[in-house]
A = this chain, B = another copy of it.
Amino acid sequence: MGMAPIAHVLWGKYMKYNPSNPKWWNRDRFVLSNGHACALQYVLLHLSGFKEYSMEQLQKFRQVGSKCPGHPENILVDGGIEVTTGPLGQGIGNAVGLAIAEAHLAASFNKPDFEIFNNFTYVFCGDGCLQEGVSCEASSVAGHLGLGKLILFYDDNHITIDGETDLSFSEDVLKRYESYGWHTQFVADGDNDIAAIAAALEAAQKVTDKPSIIKVRTTIGKGSSKQGTEKVHGSPLGAEEIVKVKKLFGFPEDKSFYVPDDVKQVYDQIIPKGQAAEDKWNDMYKSYSSKYPKEAAELARRMSNKLPENWRSCLPTFKPEDAAKATRQHSETVINAIAGTIPELIGGSADLNPSTLSYIKSSGDFQKGTHEGRNIRFGVREHGMASICNGIMGYGGLVSYGSTFLNFIGYAMGAVRLSALSHFGVIYVMTHDSIGLGEDGPTHQPIESLMAVRATPNILLLRPADGNETSGAYAVAIESHSRPSVLALSRQAIPNLKGSSIEGVFKGAYVLQDAEGGKPDVSIVGTGSEVSLAVEAAALLQKDHNLKVRVISMPSWELFREQSSEYQQSVFLEDVPVLAVEAASHVGWGEFSHASVAMHSFGHSGPAKDVFIKYGFTAKNVSEKALKLVDFYKGRKAGSLVVKPF
């Protein structure tokens, strides 16, 4: 209710959009970062004529099966909601990503007289969003990059869930945004002064070298007797109160889910206005297509999320005799090998380029004045980075990636889970993926990170074992447009394995090497840098104990679960005990093994080799544990890990 005047000014007059085609490429983007106020957004979508937002849908607000859930979800509708918001602060990061995408595509595709991309990104936010670190990070990036088409409305209603904002929030927000390099404005009476809101909006549009924030003083629950208090933040007004509010604003008291005629008349003009704007743009795009057919074809491909044909042929492959390298080094090779074929790939690291090796060498930096650059310098801002990557995916036509040490996914999970929930195929290039990072010590050695990702729905964890599997991991990630991927990559060098393959990665797990002469006595399943250790242990077991050992490489649990039951049973054989080896938390391995060599504590600072020895990641220890496992299952049935009761 408090933001309704701002929303009316924006949606009713200034925003460029066509409800008949919610996916028009050059529409202005709108993000409701304070997603709990989504009733407002659903009403605006309904009023302005988005077909999916029927009155029936509005009536099913927050019910199972509704397109109007408790917070806006982009995946429930075909347009109208650009990004999924609600977890506070994310919308601001997403909006920065949307504005980066617009700037990059404009720099890449616009031509003199052809402004194919020139939309604004508008965001609404409240105090909560501004308190969150993720928004602070993203806002600092936006100021640094000078994203002139990003306009943020700050609903300054002085109320949070707990009460007055001055309980915990007494900073000078506009001064802070000035320090970031933003253009700042203040509207003193956001409840009534429509003209001032409009004037501020126009002024913001004219500032093209800086993002804009407009602080608008509003009254929460405007019109109710509880207005201006926390009592209208999360709780319904109640029937009596609603009647009062309707009276105040001159609406019929007895009608609910009702649009008065005068309101209807105003909003009925939106569709023709939006259609006219798009028609004009379509004419331009038609001329563009004839003048620049190559660019237009490329753009059409990208905006429809199609990959170039035979794109996989650019993926490098490796032989066992190739030099042992860290998978982060293979990752650098692969990124740069595919960067030409996949020009929609854009991303960067959280100030770790020399370590995560994720720079696209054939392109330059995305900076103020060089928006065609594909390398984004996110700074030491992991959460902001992930949130921005989501926004870039939300725009369309691009594939975003973000890179840091795997351990610091713990700083960013709030946004990473939203990649998964939003079906945004962001690629997280996470290096230094185990205690094998060595000297930096346990503050930087991930233990729980792999499992935290594996426990998240709709996201792929890919932990490649060598060069071929790194190629495979990128192949999966690039082709996975509606599911994000986390690539877990080693700091330390590991050999290229006999039998490894790109195709194997697509299956999630596969038999890397098998014992000759019948059914194995034991299988060792490993991921990433521990697969080569499994191979070594298998050799020891064969040599010293004459055991038949199968080695399974398992780069992705998620992909393996999606294989046929037959295939699964051909990898994990019935009554063959399985030992897992992974230099990360043991928790979770019960699903795919009978016992594990894994971490039960945090790691330790020291050279990688010594740290591996300390925690038992040696061929000797793995082979000893495998022997114990074999002994244990003498006289017991190991059963099947993949045949399930339901």
Interface residues of A (CB under 8 A from B): 35-36, 62-66, 69-71, 73, 84-89, 127-129, 131-137, 140-141, 143-144, 160-162, 167-173, 175-176, 178-181, 230, 234, 349, 351-355, 365, 367, 377-384, 407-408, 410-411, 413-414, 416-418, 420-421, 439-444, 447-448, 450-458, 557, 585, 587-592, 594-595, 599-602, 604-607, 610-611, 614, 625, 628-629, 631-633, 636-637, 639, 644-646
Do A178 and B181 contact each other (CB < 8 Å), given the known contacts A127-B380, A133-B136, A441-B70? no
Closest B residue to A65 by beta carbon equals B606
Closest B residue to A177 by beta carbon equals B179
Shortest distance in angstroms between A454's beta carbon and chain B's nearest beta carbon? 5
Do A443 and B351 contact each other (CB < 8 Å), given the known contacts A167-B377, A178-B175, A455-B585? no
| Complex interface: chain B residues within 8 A of A646 (CB) | 595, 625, 628-629, 632
Candidates B439, B444, B588; contact of A590 at CB < 8 Å: B588
CA distance A178 to B172 in the complex (A): 8
Candidates B85, B380, B452, B606; contact of A160 at CB < 8 Å: B380
Candidates B64, B180, B594; contact of A611 at CB < 8 Å: B64
| Complex interface: chain B residues within 8 A of A87 (CB) | 407-408, 411, 443-444
- Once the chains bind, are B175 and A181 in contact (CB under 8 Å)? no
Shortest distance in angstroms between A26's beta carbon and chain B's nearest beta carbon? 28
- Once the chains bind, are A451 and B71 in contact (CB under 8 Å)? no
| Complex interface: chain B residues within 8 A of A633 (CB) | 645
| Complex interface: chain B residues within 8 A of A443 (CB) | 35, 70-71, 73, 84-87, 418, 421
Do A161 and B354 contact each other (CB < 8 Å), given the known contacts A64-B605, A417-B448, A607-B63? yes
Shortest distance in angstroms between A492's beta carbon and chain B's nearest beta carbon? 15
| Complex interface: chain B residues within 8 A of A439 (CB) | 62, 70
Residue among A137, A173, A637 with the highest chain B CB neighbour number at 10 A: A137
- Once the chains bind, are B458 and A602 in contact (CB under 8 Å)? yes
- Once the chains bind, are B71 and A354 in contact (CB under 8 Å)? no
- Once the chains bind, are B170 and A143 in contact (CB under 8 Å)? yes
Candidates B172, B450, B455, B637; contact of A447 at CB < 8 Å: B455
- Once the chains bind, are B458 and A601 in contact (CB under 8 Å)? yes
- Once the chains bind, are A63 and B606 in contact (CB under 8 Å)? yes
- Once the chains bind, are A133 and B133 in contact (CB under 8 Å)? yes
Shortest distance in angstroms between A380's beta carbon and chain B's nearest beta carbon? 4
A-B contact pairs, 20 of them (CB 8 A): A62-B606, A70-B605, A71-B440, A87-B411, A87-B444, A88-B380, A132-B380, A134-B411, A160-B351, A162-B349, A168-B378, A175-B175, A383-B383, A451-B587, A452-B455, A455-B455, A587-B591, A588-B591, A595-B646, A637-B637
- Once the chains bind, are A380 and B611 in contact (CB under 8 Å)? no
* Known contacts A136-B137, A230-B354, A408-B414, then 8 further A-B pairs from the complex at CB < 8 Å, ordered by chain A residue: A62-B606, A131-B140, A448-B457, A451-B587, A452-B452, A458-B601, A587-B588, A589-B591
